[in-house]
Every structure is written in C-alpha cells, then in structure tokens.
C-alpha cells in the first residue's frame, strides 16, 4: 500500500503531462484546420458560400459584398472584411442570434473599431445593448445586428454613454427612435456613419502583471 501511494504523484504528473500535450495538439490542429479553411474569395465564390445560409444572414452578406466587394477571407460559416470603410473588421455570420432590442430581429453582422472603454462603463454598455461588445485587452468595441446602419447607431450611442452625454435609458430611447426613423425611410445621421473620431493608434490595455516569472 505504501509503495502504491508513493507512486501516485509521479503517475498523476505523467498523466497530466500527457493529457495537456494531447489537449494542446488538438487545439493546434483545430486552429490549423480553421486557418486552412479561411481563404480569400471572389464575389462569385462568396455567393456560392452563402446560397444555403438563413435569410437574414444572406441579406447581410449580400449587402456587404455590394458595398465593400468580396470578403478578404471566408469559411462555410462566415465572411470577413478588413479595414472596410470606417471599420477595423466586419464579419457576417451564418449563425443567426435572436435579439429582441429594440424589436425582434436576428444578429448576424458584427463590425469592429478600435476604442477604449474605461472598465467602469462596461456594466453600463451591457445594460444599454447586449450586442455591443467590448474587449479591454485588444482595445476594441463592436456592434452586432442585422444591418450596418444599426451598428453605426449602436456605437454612436455607446460613445455618448462613455462620454457622459447620455444615460443608459436615454441611449436606449434614442436607439428606438432612430430605428423607427430609419424604418420609415428617413434615417438620421447617427445611422449612416460614426459621428465621433476613432483612435488611429492601438488603445489596447494589456493590464498589469501580478506574478513574477523570474
């Protein structure tokens, strides 16, 4: 019995070492597969990829292809553009996500910019719109909806919250009013472009180390 207990730590370390190595190999293989599947495509290839996508995703993809040309990369489940118009990155997803604010629709189009959000405002933005997504480390903010105009609007109002120009409730009310105008054929400026200056340099926050590797 004593000898068996003595062997357990070593056996456990060996098992963890093998299991970790196996997990890393699987992860690396997955990344390699994804990278291999993502490739530059022309408009005709992009049209072939989206031909069996759900309706909202297809419409969003066609709108982006018409406005910005063929995507820079594509897989069977998404199309990606880089530095298209004011955006750092645009992604159209095959997967449709149900979103009921300000009315029921499907989220399929996500668009990113460089933007620094102070951590104290993360909760405010989450309460404002669950499809406004902040990445502190990368220094990015994105909006995900079904139309580009809605993404412009979402980020313009997010900026108003961060700058202290609107409360969360005021921003939500303004969002609904602007969307009604857009649906009625009179889109306000806030649905047509970003109405604030986007940082030209990286604004990522790498945080602070709390473990001394030395």
Instruction: Please indicate, yes or no, if residue 124 is contained in any of the structural domains.
Output: yes
Instruction: Please indicate, yes or no, if residue 89 is contained in any of the structural domains.
Output: yes
Instruction: Please indicate, yes or no, if residue 119 is contained in any of the structural domains.
Output: yes
The pLDDT-based confidence of 129 (bands split at 50, 70, 90) is very high
Instruction: Please indicate, yes or no, if residue 11 is contained in any of the structural domains.
Output: no
The whole domain housing 52 covers: 43-191
Owner of token pair 């709108």:
63
Q: Report which of 46, 57, 148 is spatially closest to residue 98, judged by C-alpha positions.
A: 57
Instruction: Please indicate, yes or no, if residue 20 is contained in any of the structural domains.
Output: no
> What tokens does 71 get?
């995507």
**Mind listing the pLDDT tens digit for each residue in 176-197?**
999 999 999 999 999 999 999 9
Q: Is pLDDT above 80 for 10?
A: no
Instruction: Please indicate, yes or no, if residue 12 is contained in any of the structural domains.
Output: no
Q: What is the mean pLDDT of the chain?
A: 86
The pLDDT-based confidence of 141 (bands split at 50, 70, 90) is very high
Give the span between the Cα atoms of 22 and 10, in whole angstroms: 18
How many separate domains does the chain show? 1
Dihedral-angle region of residue 204 (phi above 0 means left; psi in -120 to 50 means alpha; beta otherwise): beta
Instruction: Please indicate, yes or no, if residue 149 is contained in any of the structural domains.
Output: yes
The strands making up 73-75's β-sheet, listed across from edge to edge, are: 73-75, 78-82, 89-99, 105-114, 140-145, 132-135
Instruction: Please indicate, yes or no, if residue 145 is contained in any of the structural domains.
Output: yes
Q: Is pLDDT above 80 for 34?
A: no
């Amino acid at each position: 019995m004593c000898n068996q207990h003595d062997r357990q730590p070593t056996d456990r370390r060996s098992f963890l070492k093998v299991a970790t190595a196996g997990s890393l190999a699987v992860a690396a293989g997955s990344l390699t597969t994804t990278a291999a599947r993502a490739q530059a495509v022309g408009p005709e290839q992009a049209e072939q990829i989206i031909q069996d996508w759900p309706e909202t995703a297809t419409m969003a993809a066609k709108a982006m292809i018409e406005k910005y040309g063929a995507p820079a990369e594509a897989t069977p489940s998404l199309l990606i553009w880089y530095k298209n118009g004011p955006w750092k990155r645009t992604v159209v997803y095959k997967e449709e996500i149900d979103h009921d604010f300000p009315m029921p629709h499907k989220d399929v189009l996500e668009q990113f910019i460089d933007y620094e959000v102070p951590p104290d405002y993360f909760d405010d933005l989450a309460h404002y719109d669950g499809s406004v997504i902040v990445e502190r480390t990368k220094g990015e903010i994105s909006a995900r909806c079904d139309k580009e105009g809605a993404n412009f609007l979402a980020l313009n109002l997010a900026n108003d919250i961060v700058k202290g120009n609107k409360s969360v409730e005021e921003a939500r009310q303004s969002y609904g009013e602007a969307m009604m105008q857009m649906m009625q054929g009179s889109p306000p400026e806030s649905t047509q472009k970003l109405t604030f200056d986007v940082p030209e340099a990286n604004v990522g926050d790498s945080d602070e180390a709390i473990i001394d590797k030395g």
